[in-house]
Amino acid sequence: MDPLNELVSSLKKFPGIGLKSARRIAYYLMRQDTPELERLGSLIAGLKKDLYTCSQCGNVSPQDPCTICSDPLRKKDTLCIVEDIEALSVFEQAGIYNGLYHVLGGRISPASGNDLSDEAAEFLRQHIMKLRPSEVIIATTPRIEGDIAYYTLLDVLQGSHVKKITRLAYGLPLGGSIEFADRVTLHSALEGRRQIM
Ligand SMILES: [Zn+2]
């Protein structure tokens, strides 16, 4: 296969990119000069090399502990549990939350066999024991299996001495992913969070 076709078939695997878009991106790249292509190439190569999974929260960052966990200006008494780093980045870009996060590292969907693993549950337990937050916000995506995920999390949080457990209020559509929520919807979901325990 020639390099152009190979690039197109690689780009086609990107989320939301079909054959047409893949071709358009490939032709766009062909028009760039060599230093720019090398810069892009090393950025992509650096994703695995220069980024670390935070040993405290599971976020991905150029440093461990991550830039959020080691930020002295973040409120350390509130912990927001999200499914993945995409959901975390949606919160961060919205700029509506100043506490810490815990990244579960993937969707919990027992219906499709993706239950919260023992390791993930233990990682969360350790984080909470270390941090001792006064509030834990559960920000997993609301859906049928999402609700099972939520009970799984409640199980983990039982006996953790957390004073207050809340869950996002949903203006979000059921089954709608947090990743697609706009800032206003996400903000009202956070403001309207209700206490569970
Ligand atoms: Zn972190």
Among 1-15, 28-42, 107-121, where is mean pLDDT lowest? 107-121
The rounded Å distance from CA 114 to ligand 1 centre is 23
In angstroms, the CA 6 to CA 11 distance is 9
In angstroms, the CA 156 to CA 38 distance is 46
The rounded Å distance from CA 141 to ligand 1 centre is 21
Residue 55 has pLDDT above 90, yes or no: yes
More confidently predicted of 116 and 37: 37
Structure pTM? 0.74
Give 177-197 pLDDT, tens digit per residue.
Answer: 666 667 777 777 787 787 877
At the topology level, CATH places domain 3-50 in: Helicase, Ruva Protein; domain 3 (1.10.8)
Q: Domain locations in the chain?
A: 3-50, 53-195
Q: Residue 188: is it exposed, middle or buried by C-beta count within 10 angstroms (0-12/13-18/19+)?
A: middle
More confidently predicted of 95 and 188: 95
The rounded Å distance from CA 100 to ligand 1 centre is 8
Architecture of the domain defined by 53-195: 3-Layer(aba) Sandwich (3.40)
Give 156-177 pLDDT, tens digit per residue.
Answer: 888 777 889 988 876 655 555 6
- Is residue 163 within 8 A of residue 154, CB to CB? The reply is no
At 189 the pLDDT is: 75
